C-alpha cells in the first residue's frame, strides 16, 4: 500500500483508539487494581479482536466493490455519514466525570486474553468504524494479501502504542477521566478528526 495511505489510516486509528471508551476503561481499571500484571495478555486480546473486525470489514467491502458497485457506493456514503455522526457526538458529548473501579481478582493470562477478545468482539461498532474508514485509504476492490498484512501490522502497532501509553499512565488516569476540561478537549479533537475522515470518504 501507499505509504501516505498507511500513515493516514494510522493517524485516524490512533485518535479513535486513544479516545476513552469501554476497552480503555477496562485496561486502566485492571492496571489500577493489579498493576501491570496481566495487562499485556488482556490488551493483546483487545487488539486481536480489532484485527478480526478489520478483516471482516476489508473482505466485506472488497466483495461489495467487486460485485455490487452501487451498493458499495451507498455503504461508502453511509460510512461518511456515520463518521460525521460520531464527530458530532464527540464534539457535543457532556463532560461527565468518570470513576474507574479497580479490579483486584487475579486471573490467568489465557483468561485475560479471552476477556479482552470478548470485549472487542462484543462491540460491533468497531467493525462499523473500519467500514467507514477503510474507503478513505485503499482501493478495496483490489486489496492484496500484502496490503492486508500491512493494514493488520499498522493496526497492531497503533493499538500497541495506545494501550502501552495507557498502561504506563494508569496511575494518572483517574485525573484524566475525572477532569471535565481534559474530556472536553479530547472529545473535540476526536470529533474534528472523524469529521475530516467523513468529508474525505464522501468526496472520493
List C-alpha distances in Å: 137 to 48, 112, 197: 21, 33, 10
pLDDT (average), residues 73-96? 64
pLDDT in the model for residue 159: 94
| Mean pLDDT across 124-133 | 78
Whole-structure pTM value: 0.66
What is the tens place of the pLDDT at every residue in 87-97?
676 577 665 54
**Cβ contacts of 202 within 8 Å, gap of 6 or more:** 77, 80
What is the per-residue pLDDT for 104?
Answer: 44
Kindly state the cell numbers that stand for 59.
473482505
Tell me: the pLDDT tens digits for 95-116? 554 444 444 455 678 888 988 8
Mean pLDDT within 20-25:
73
Amino acid at each position: 500500500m501507499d505509504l501516505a495511505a498507511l500513515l493516514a489510516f494510522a493517524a485516524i486509528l490512533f485518535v479513535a483508539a486513544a479516545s476513552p471508551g469501554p476497552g480503555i476503561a477496562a485496561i486502566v481499571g485492571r492496571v489500577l487494581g493489579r498493576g501491570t500484571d496481566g495487562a499485556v495478555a488482556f490488551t493483546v486480546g483487545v487488539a486481536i479482536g480489532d484485527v478480526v473486525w478489520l478483516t471482516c470489514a476489508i473482505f466485506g467491502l472488497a466483495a461489495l466493490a467487486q460485485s455490487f458497485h452501487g451498493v458499495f457506493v451507498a455503504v461508502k456514503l453511509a460510512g461518511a455519514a456515520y463518521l460525521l455522526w460520531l464527530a458530532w457526538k464527540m464534539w457535543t458529548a457532556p463532560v461527565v466525570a468518570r470513576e474507574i473501579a479497580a479490579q483486584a481478582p487475579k486471573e490467568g493470562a489465557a483468561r485475560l486474553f479471552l476477556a479482552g477478545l470478548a470485549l472487542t468482539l462484543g462491540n460491533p461498532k468497531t467493525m462499523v468504524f473500519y467500514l467507514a474508514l477503510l474507503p478513505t485509504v485503499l482501493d478495496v476492490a483490489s486489496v492484496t494479501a500484502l496490503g492486508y498484512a500491512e493494514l493488520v501490522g499498522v493496526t497492531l502497532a497503533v493499538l500497541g502504542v495506545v494501550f502501552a501509553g495507557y498502561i504506563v499512565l494508569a496511575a494518572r488516569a483517574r485525573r484524566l477521566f475525572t477532569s471535565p476540561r481534559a474530556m472536553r478537549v479530547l472529545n473535540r479533537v476526536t470529533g474534528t478528526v472523524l469529521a475530516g475522515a467523513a468529508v474525505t470518504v464522501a468526496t472520493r
